[in-house]
Amino acid sequence: MKRTLFLILLAIPLFTFAQQQPKIILQLQSSDTLVHKSIVNQIGNLKKEFPGAEIELVCHGPGLDFLMKSKSYYINKLDKMKLSNVSFAGCEFTMSQKNIKKDDLVPFAQTVPYGLAEIIKKQQADWLYVKLGF
């Protein structure tokens, strides 16, 4: 009886873990349009494999181009996919360095004070980290 109870108690966290959907923080620091094209596929594939996953793409440095209205081909393609629980964040520090205004970003983009700090905070909250690019 004790052994059965022990096995049940052991199985509960494993079952709970198996049912959880991951939280994924993606870092983009590249202005390369081939990387941007790849991101559309990567995020789409992640959502196929983990439909309930929460995904945040943080763009900073040259990667902020991905969120710019003037260069928004791939981000708009991603937005048209209407994926749930996917958000896009631009680094306000990069924006200030490059004289970019919030209005220069696509309307569904959010901003964070510091891109790297956002990534660190998410990792501390047990989000999985993926750096994008070639």
Domain boundaries, the chain: 21-132
How many Å apart are CA 102 and CA 3, to the nearest integer? Answer: 59
The yes or no reply on domain 21-132 and CATH 3.20.20.70 is: no
Tens-of-pLDDT digits for all 134 residues of the chain? 555 444 444 444 544 444 589 999 999 999 999 999 999 999 999 999 999 999 999 999 999 999 999 998 898 888 888 889 999 999 999 999 999 999 999 999 999 999 999 999 999 999 999 999 87
Residue 78 has what pLDDT?
A: 87
Give CA angle at 71 (67, 74), nearest 5°: 70
If residue 15 lies in a helix (H) or strand (E), which one and from where to where?
helix 2-19
Six-digit token string for 68: 């710019």
Amino acid identity at 10: L
